[in-house]
């Protein structure tokens, strides 16, 4: 493993591009000085288009889970009624956080592998529209499902217009279009180690004017995660507490790379990698876990076949430099996950497929040499709008 | 400023040694894999001697302030009576956190620049020994004062044996001896960007068996900062949430450097740098802020002379590559601070003195060329036990 760089295909932390790695090695600077202020301003401005907001974003030194906690504790009060829409482990975690701080949480549990259904959400809100907030997961990293946030938010805005919409987009934002302001989302959270191509350590949290107002009266306790303290400090070019400076160097560079490509190209690359991953894994005779109508653009989950010794198989995969993620929570041992977010390239997905093919054939699985790579390649090309022999043939038949 | 590396003399983040910088540029790995587990185990074991504990330490992705919040919310319940001993801005912050979570906080305010007096603490605890916890600051970064923790802890253990002793040693631990177990301290917090020679982003929090027990019944809400979740996850070679991985790479390397030097040499180097800073600033006709009996080994604060245009002076100092910190809270504009912790060398302090000398002379301050560097040099040598001409002369007179 030391002789080559592994193909890190977990859904975060993601592999870092060379220039982002180099940024992580920069010397420290005064975090109360003008150089820092310039960088912070650049990062905040660079993020706004990806959030789809013209409003304020807070950068907090914390993992994504701390970002979710910040969304809850800044906007809510104990005994507030909260609807926690959960489609997996991270939806459960979001609800658990609200409960830990005394919110009166009703869970709307969706079968894992499915997305939340706007009609079901509508029915729940028509039954009871007294919720102070609705918790939504944009991209559920544990199942590889992406919720239809615009549709879900539209239902909430219509039926329960006073409810705050708090969205976990830790592993979504930056990789797919997000229009916070247009969709009427109140708080959205993302993390440096996902689409932003950086090391973990920073959560970025945007809030709507309504959410900033809610913070004035919300009484859940917070000091470290106080978003208003962050907003006030950011306005002065600082952070209220010493920030994860080296990670901010990396995010600054990651955004520069994303801007150089352009958002449309970043989103297209993620879509192509996702299509390639799904087609390749299917050709490898792995059954995909998620309802494919809601397949995530950033992580794909597949069942571990009943007759496969996963530990041995994955050991061999890892020995060949491909690092996959296992299942979380109740899916531990039942699925595996392949991440395709951040700096991911189609070539890395094809490389992953070639390793999985090689090890599958070695293990006697029913796999045709080259088939998975070919399927992934065609899917990626088609995702990019290239007419392939396969498409042309299909068109002629 | 771009043509040379500044002499970053703020009390954290501190300048990083080359090998620590390089560690920050490492590629990401699976934070649920064996390579991570080995690193985490190495870091935890390497830290224990500096904490003076054989007990469990939690590594949390947060700034030091989040570490203080973790100390409070994990061990206390709303309405618990807490004595907040404050000798500066960070003592005030510690108390503020406890109050924000509903503790009934009594402040024992000490004049800034002074240390807490064990006799005064004893009197307070004899008046009222019903406190559930006492909050202490080890090294008060805002004033450059180091509290006598062993003496203060001994008083608490004697007069209020049931009180938990929670210590902010964010900017102390690792730079000076600390004997958590022997002193009877219950929770102590430090941060990666201080003595540990790393970028900010990680707080390291050790708890005594009594503190771990207290966590079982403490009811202040916490999820992200839950130390028991960290302890449980650390035992499995992981962290409960995605950690600031690149910072952990750096801390791993920082500890390796500290171990290579040996703790005694690390402490001696900090003592010598502190002595040099104090002697040099005094020779520069700056009046030191702290009562020198309690002068900090990691940061020195001095008054801005009334007749000095600090903005112009500091601008020139900065232009020559020396970065100082200003005052905090009510000391803003009244003092400046010079940090000497982490990878600091005596040579860096001498360099700082030469810049301050140069700019002082330029500014017409009453400074003899070479005097501050000489004073700092002699103080450092004497701190290392070297007999200097000055000492020899003093001995002969």
Q: How far apart are CA A156 and CA A123, in angstroms?
A: 11
Give the per-residue pLDDT at B257: 98
Q: Which of A22, A220, A224 sits opposite B66 (nearest CB)?
A: A224
> Which residues lie closer than 8 Å to B179 by C-beta, 6 or more apart?
B52, B150
A66 upstream amide cis, omega within 30 of 0:
no
A229-256 average pLDDT score = 98
Q: Which of A15, A193, A250 sits opposite B242 (nearest CB)?
A: A193
A268 upstream amide cis, omega within 30 of 0:
no
CA nearest A174: which of A199, A186, A187, A191? A191
Q: How far apart are CA A187 and CA A68, in angstroms?
A: 9
Residues of chain A contacting residue B33, judged by C-beta atoms under 8 Å apart: 323
Residue B396 forms contact with A (CB below 8 Å): no
B61 and B201 Cβ atoms separated by less than 8 Å: yes
ipTM of the complex model:
0.96
CATH numbers and ranges of domains, chain A: 7-13+262-391 (3.90.1150.10), 27-259 (3.40.640.10)
For Cα atoms A326, A328, A334, give the angle at the middle one, nearest 5 degrees: 60
Q: How far apart are CA A396 and CA B369, in angstroms?
A: 89
Asked if A242 and B22 come within 8 Å (Cβ–Cβ), the reply is no
Asked if B222 and A100 come within 8 Å (Cβ–Cβ), the reply is yes
- Assess whether pLDDT exceeds 70 at residue B397: no
Q: How far apart are CA B78 and CA B73, in angstroms?
A: 9
Asked if B244 and A242 come within 8 Å (Cβ–Cβ), the reply is no
Residue B14 forms contact with A (CB below 8 Å): yes
Specify whether the backbone of A137 is left (phi greater than 0), alpha (psi in -120 to 50) or beta: beta
- pLDDT, tens digit, for every residue of A268-300? 999 999 999 999 999 999 999 999 999 999 999
Q: What is the mean pLDDT of chain A?
A: 96
- pLDDT, tens digit, for every residue of B92-151? 999 999 999 999 999 999 999 999 999 999 999 999 989 999 999 999 999 999 999 999
Give the per-residue pLDDT at B274: 98
- Assess whether pLDDT exceeds 70 at residue B396: no
Residues of chain B contacting residue A224, judged by C-beta atoms under 8 Å apart: 62-63, 65-66, 69, 97, 225
Within 242-271 of B, beta carbons closer than 8 Å to A belong to 242-247, 250
- pLDDT, tens digit, for every residue of B219-265? 999 999 999 999 999 999 999 999 999 999 999 999 999 999 999 99
A104 and A81 Cβ atoms separated by less than 8 Å: yes
Give the per-residue pLDDT at A332: 93
Give the per-residue pLDDT at B394: 55
End-to-end Cα, chain A, rounded Å = 46
Residue B97 forms contact with A (CB below 8 Å): yes
- Assess whether pLDDT exceeds 50 at residue A396: no
When mean pLDDT is compared across A9-23, A187-201, B382-396, the lowest value belongs to: B382-396
Asked if B100 and A222 come within 8 Å (Cβ–Cβ), the reply is yes
Residue B49 forms contact with A (CB below 8 Å): no
Residue A24 forms contact with B (CB below 8 Å): yes
Give the per-residue pLDDT at B2: 63
Give the per-residue pLDDT at A393: 59
Give the per-residue pLDDT at B1: 45
Largest CA distance in chain A: 66
Chain A CA closest to residue B94? A223
Q: Which of A22, A27, A33 sits opposite B5 (nearest CB)?
A: A27
- pLDDT, tens digit, for every residue of A49-100? 999 999 999 999 999 999 999 999 999 999 999 999 999 999 999 999 999 9
Q: How far apart are CA A146 and CA A297, in angstroms?
A: 7
Q: Which of B13, B33, B220 sits opposite A28 (nearest CB)?
A: B13
Q: How far apart are CA A28 and CA B339, in angstroms?
A: 14
A11 and A341 Cβ atoms separated by less than 8 Å: yes
Beta bridge partner(s), residue B136: B167
Give the per-residue pLDDT at A213: 98
- pLDDT, tens digit, for every residue of B192-201? 999 999 999 9
- pLDDT, tens digit, for every residue of A137-183? 999 999 999 999 999 999 999 999 999 999 999 999 999 999 999 99
Chain B CA closest to residue A66? B224
Residue B13 forms contact with A (CB below 8 Å): yes
The share of chain A scoring above pLDDT 90, in percent, equals 95
Asked if B242 and A12 come within 8 Å (Cβ–Cβ), the reply is yes
Asked if A199 and B13 come within 8 Å (Cβ–Cβ), the reply is no
Q: How close, in Å, is residue A167 to chain B by CA atoms?
A: 17
Q: How close, in Å, is residue A220 to chain B by CA atoms?
A: 9
Within 208-227 of B, beta carbons closer than 8 Å to A belong to 220-225
Q: Which two tokens stand for residue B161?
A: 């044996």
B355-382 average pLDDT score = 97
Residues of chain B contacting residue A328, judged by C-beta atoms under 8 Å apart: none
- Assess whether pLDDT exceeds 70 at residue A304: yes
Beta bridge partner(s), residue A57: A206
Q: How far apart are CA B356 and CA B375, in angstroms?
A: 13
Q: Which of B24, B33, B224 sits opposite A69 (nearest CB)?
A: B224
Specify whether the backbone of B370 is left (phi greater than 0), alpha (psi in -120 to 50) or beta: left
Asked if A101 and B221 come within 8 Å (Cβ–Cβ), the reply is yes
Q: How far apart are CA A290 and CA A282, in angstroms?
A: 12
- Assess whether pLDDT exceeds 70 at residue B304: yes
Asked if A323 and B33 come within 8 Å (Cβ–Cβ), the reply is yes
> For A44-115, where are the E strands, in sequence order?
57-61, 81-86, 104-109
Give the per-residue pLDDT at A3: 72
A76 and A101 Cβ atoms separated by less than 8 Å: yes
């Amino acid at each position: 493993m030391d002789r080559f760089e592994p193909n890190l295909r977990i859904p975060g932390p993601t592999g870092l591009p060379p220039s982002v790695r180099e940024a992580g090695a920069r010397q420290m600077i005064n975090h109360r000085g003008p150089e820092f202020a310039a960088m912070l301003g650049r990062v905040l401005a660079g993020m706004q288009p990806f959030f789809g907001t013209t409003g304020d974003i807070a950068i907090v030194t914390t993992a994504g889970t701390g970002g979710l906690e910040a969304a809850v504790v800044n906007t809510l009060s104990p005994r507030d009624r909260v609807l926690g829409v959960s489609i997996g482990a991270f939806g459960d975690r979001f609800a658990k956080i609200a409960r830990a701080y005394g919110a009166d949480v009703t869970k709307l549990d969706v079968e894992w592998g499915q997305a939340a259904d706007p009609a079901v959400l509508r029915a729940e809100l028509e039954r009871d529209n007294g919720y102070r907030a609705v918790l939504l997961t944009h991209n559920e990293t544990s199942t590889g499902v992406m919720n239809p946030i615009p549709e879900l938010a539209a239902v909430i805005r219509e039926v329960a217009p006073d409810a705050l919409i708090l969205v976990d987009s830790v592993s979504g934002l930056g990789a797919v279009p997000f229009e916070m302001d247009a969709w009427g989302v109140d708080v959205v959270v993302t993390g440096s180690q996902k689409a932003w191509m950086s090391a973990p350590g920073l959560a970025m949290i945007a809030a709507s004017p309504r959410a900033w107002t809610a913070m004035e009266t919300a009484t859940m306790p917070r000091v470290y995660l106080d978003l208003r303290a962050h907003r006030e400090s950011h306005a002065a070019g600082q952070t209220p507490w010493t920030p994860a400076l080296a990670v901010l160097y990396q995010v600054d560079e990651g955004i520069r790379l994303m801007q150089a490509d352009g958002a449309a190209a970043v989103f297209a690359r993620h879509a192509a990698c996702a299509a390639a991953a799904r087609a390749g894994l299917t050709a490898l005779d792995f059954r995909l876990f998620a309802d494919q109508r809601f397949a995530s653009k950033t992580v794909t989950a597949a069942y571990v076949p009943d007759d496969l010794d996963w530990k041995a198989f994955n050991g061999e995969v890892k020995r060949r430099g491909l690092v996959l993620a296992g299942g979380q929570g109740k899916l531990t041992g039942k699925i595996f996950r392949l991440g395709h977010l951040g700096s991911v390239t189609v070539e890395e997905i094809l490389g992953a497929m070639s390793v999985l093919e090689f090890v599958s054939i070695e293990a006697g699985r029913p796999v045709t040499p080259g088939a998975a790579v070919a399927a992934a390649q065609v899917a990626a090309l088609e995702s990019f709008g290239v007419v392939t022999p396969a498409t042309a043939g299909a068109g002629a038949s």
